[in-house]
Structure formats: structure tokens, C-alpha cells
Amino acid sequence: MSSLLDTLLAQATGLPSVATSNTHTQSTDPQVASLGWPLNRPPDSELAPPTAQQDVFKAFSNAGFPQMTARVCRESFQSSDAFCIWLCYSDLNNEYGNGGWGPTPLSPTPPPYSIQPVSGYGLGIVANRPIKTGETILIERPIAIYPANITSNSMHTNGQWGAIEDMYETVFPVLGETEKSVYMELWNCKPLTGTLGNKFTGIARTNGLHIRFTRSQFLPSYAGVFPSISRCNHCCGPNADTSFDEDTMSMRLFALRPIAAGEQVTIGYVVTFLPAMFRQAELQQKYLFTCECKHCKPTVASTPSRPLKHPYWASSAGGILSSVSPSDQRRCIQIAFRTEHAQKMWVEWISPSSKDTDRAFFDFHEDALVVLAQEGLEHTRIDHIAYLAHGCAALGDADGFKRWGNVLISLSAWTHGKEGVLQMKAWQDWVREPTFSPAWGLRVRSKAKGKQKCLA
Ligand SMILES: [Zn+2]
């Protein structure tokens, strides 16, 4: 296998049985982190749960080998029925929802979608009216949550999932009648191997979406099963994304691009930067289906759509270019390359010794937006839009900053919850007064410094 594909596979730190968003490869440079959200967020390699045996062991060891307990989530102590069973490690036993979780956060009414049969998919979520980019489609709470990493319990006759099945079976009756029936009607792609209990974990593992509880220092990754959002089918160019708020225990599903009435709402279950054959292998292994989206259709190999000059192409990509489909080329090479180099490019561009032209900087990110739109990977575009806005600010271009800042705001791709409110507020403030933005004048000042150096 080529070294590029090795790199791409190494980036695929996806969960073994939990749908995960795309992996961003950048680590956060302090000069980039100072630009604020979204460029200051930690790399996804840190956000994804560990998968290598020794990393999993280390996480458990650091957490003091916590026991798993079943937490019952209710709106208040007066509520008779629970809305969720949370199989939770003891480090979070006294965190979150201690006075009850409060009422369910409001979801749009009437809902802009319906759950209905979709040809080739079973049930799916379908828009019942046009949905705008950034619009919230629905907000809901999970019915079940389980840890992304579980300790192996060799004592149990049914292996490590056996213990979880037992816990589910014991606590399942506390759920409300609606939650119980909605849960049991969800799809189970895992084989039933004899015990009835398998169905609980089979449904959990088929429908779990990655969520994080950040108050756990070492084991923050869990998976949640949601009544409707878990009905979202997969596409390698998804038109929607999810964001979880740990304080209200709720997930928001929102549109990444305009969705037409009658169109299916989709999310990504696997790392979409990977070539189609690796995506297919992962989907087959975890969910037992073959994706037939347009990005997975076999297409003839072609040469790159633009000349690739960086040494990175020559060293690693050259050998495989002739044998990959145009979609794989765009995802695994053009998009992955830009994701990997965006930070370095910013740091270089704002330094007094920079050799890059302003045009090269803006082309790099504007081209990225074109390629991302071609591949339906809009969920990774916020970084490029943020760089374009900060690039304008660095040049002292208030109108340019406002233009890109407003684009970013319109996507409403904020982190859900309190953190998201702060992110939104910061961008709204900067758009109102661009001179307050963190990159204001950076390039102008460094160009002046560069000139002084030349004259000295
Ligand atoms: Zn596909």
C-alpha cells in the first residue's frame, strides 16, 4: 500500500462501532488557536476515543479503573418514567443532571421532516419542506447511552457485551412506554446469536452516535441512541450533521446545505476522507451494508483537476494518481492536503519573512470550498471559511471580513449548548466591528516589518 493511503488510514481513528464525524488532521498551533473558534478546537485525533489496546488500557488506568453503573435519566425527581438509560463509568456518577435534567429542549414545530420508507434504505428521515443551510431540523434526547470503550469482562459467558446486555435488561423497564417501543423498533444490523438480550446491544451498536462528556478526564467518549436522529441514513456526502450538548443531554440535527422537500436527510457514519474502498469496508464491517451513494459509484480514473506542485504530491501521491477515481482524488488528496497544510500556511503567511502572495492564500481556501462542494463534504468547510475571514482581517479589509464572517454565521455550525452561544457571539461581535477581530491588521504589520528588515 502507498504511504499516502497509510497516512489516510492512520487518520481514520474512527470508532469500532460508533458513527463518527470526519477526522481533521491539524494540531493546534498557538498562532492559529488565538483566532478562536473554529480554528482553536483540538484535533479530532484527540476527540476520538482510543482504539489501540494499549491506549484503551492507559485511559482506564488513568481513570482508576472505574466501574460501570446504570444511571437513570429523568426530567425531575417527580417524573415517573425515565427518558434515558445511561451506562456510565463511576467517574461521572455525580456529574450532570443531579437535580434532574429539566424539560427537553425545544425542537422546531411543526417538524420539517417525516420518518418514512426510503427506497433501498428501510426507514429514513425525509424533508417535508425545503430546509435552509444551518437550519435546525430537530433536537432530541437519547434513549440509551453506553461507553465507547468498554472493559473486557472475560468472566461473562457472552464476552464483554454480555455484561452490558445484562445491565440493559435489568434497567430497561424504567423507561417510558414510548421510549421502550421506539427503541425496540430501531434497526439492528448485528446478528442475533441466541440470547434475547443481544437485541438491546445490537440496536445500541447499530444506532449509536458519538457523544462526549467532557467532565470525564480520561473516558469522555460515549455513544447515544436517539429516537429519530438514529434513523438518519448514511451518505458519503451527507447533507446534515449533529452536535451534542452535554448539559441538556440533547442532540441537534442541522442542515449543511439546502435540502429540498422530499430529499432524504443524511449524516456520515465513517471518515469520509478515506477512499471509497476503505469507506465501504468499514461500513460493511460495522453496519453490514454497501453504500451506493454517488461518491461511491465506480468512475474512470483521471488526472488531477489542477496541477499539483507541492512536494507532498510528488512523494506520496504520484504513484496512485493514475489508479484512483476522481472522487477519491479530491477527497484523499486535494481535501486532505488542504486540511493538513492550512495551519502551516497561516503561520507562514502572517510572518514577516513570508514569501506567499495574498492571492495564493485566498486561492488555497477558495479552491478548497469548490472541491468540498463537489464532494458534498460541507461539514469540513467552516475552517476554510474562518481562514478566509481572518485573511481579510489580516489585510485590514473590513468588507471582506464581514462577507466571510456572515457566511460562517449563516451555517450555524456552532458547538451545541453554552459553548456554542459564546462562539456565535464572538463572530457576531467581530462582524459588527471587524477591527476587534483577533487577526486585524496582522499581515499589514508583518509586511511593514519585512520591508524594514530588507532596508536595514
Ligand atoms: Zn458512499
If you measure from the C-alpha of residue 245 to the centroid of ligand 1, how many angstroms do you get, rounded to a whole number? 28
User: Cα separation of 176 and 84, whole Å?
Assistant: 9
If you measure from the C-alpha of residue 328 to the centroid of ligand 1, how many angstroms do you get, rounded to a whole number? 11
If you measure from the C-alpha of residue 275 to the centroid of ligand 1, how many angstroms do you get, rounded to a whole number? 10
If you measure from the C-alpha of residue 49 to the centroid of ligand 1, how many angstroms do you get, rounded to a whole number? 24
If you measure from the C-alpha of residue 432 to the centroid of ligand 1, how many angstroms do you get, rounded to a whole number? 40
Residue 10 has what pLDDT? 42
If you measure from the C-alpha of residue 143 to the centroid of ligand 1, how many angstroms do you get, rounded to a whole number? 28
If you measure from the C-alpha of residue 292 to the centroid of ligand 1, how many angstroms do you get, rounded to a whole number? 5
If you measure from the C-alpha of residue 264 to the centroid of ligand 1, how many angstroms do you get, rounded to a whole number? 14
C-alpha distance from residue 337 to each of 25, 320, 356, 371 (Å): 9, 15, 17, 12
If you measure from the C-alpha of residue 290 to the centroid of ligand 1, how many angstroms do you get, rounded to a whole number? 8
If you measure from the C-alpha of residue 235 to the centroid of ligand 1, how many angstroms do you get, rounded to a whole number? 5
If you measure from the C-alpha of residue 307 to the centroid of ligand 1, how many angstroms do you get, rounded to a whole number? 27
If you measure from the C-alpha of residue 293 to the centroid of ligand 1, how many angstroms do you get, rounded to a whole number? 4
Q: Where are the domains of the chain?
A: 49-267, 276-298+323-455
Angle, vertex CA 409, rays to CA 363 and CA 44, nearest 5: 70
If you measure from the C-alpha of residue 381 to the centroid of ligand 1, how many angstroms do you get, rounded to a whole number? 19
If you measure from the C-alpha of residue 291 to the centroid of ligand 1, how many angstroms do you get, rounded to a whole number? 5
Task: Split the chain (456 residues) into runs of 10 and give each run's mean pLDDT.
Answer: 40 36 60 94 78 88 92 90 94 92 94 95 95 97 93 69 84 92 87 61 89 93 95 95 94 97 95 86 88 78 48 46 72 84 93 91 92 90 96 98 97 91 97 97 91 68
Cβ density class 275-308: b for 16+ within 10 Å, e for less: bbebbbebbeebbebebebebbeeeeeeeeeeeb
If you measure from the C-alpha of residue 351 to the centroid of ligand 1, how many angstroms do you get, rounded to a whole number? 41
If you measure from the C-alpha of residue 370 to the centroid of ligand 1, how many angstroms do you get, rounded to a whole number? 19
With 0-12 / 13-18 / 19 or more C-beta atoms within 10 angstroms meaning exposed / middle / buried, residue 425 is exposed
If you measure from the C-alpha of residue 294 to the centroid of ligand 1, how many angstroms do you get, rounded to a whole number? 6
If you measure from the C-alpha of residue 113 to the centroid of ligand 1, how many angstroms do you get, rounded to a whole number? 22
Q: What is the DSSP string of 410-451?
A: HHT-PPSSHHHHHHHHHHHHHHH-GGGSTTTTHHHHHHHHHH
In this structure, what C-alpha cell is assigned to residue 416? 451545541
If you measure from the C-alpha of residue 201 to the centroid of ligand 1, how many angstroms do you get, rounded to a whole number? 26
CATH of domain 49-267: 2.170.270.10
If you measure from the C-alpha of residue 222 to the centroid of ligand 1, how many angstroms do you get, rounded to a whole number? 25
User: Cα separation of 95 and 88, whole Å?
Assistant: 11
Q: Judging by DSSP bridges, how do beta strands 84-89 and 144-147 pair with one another?
A: parallel
- List 267's β-bridge partners, or say none: 234
Residue 298 has what pLDDT? 62
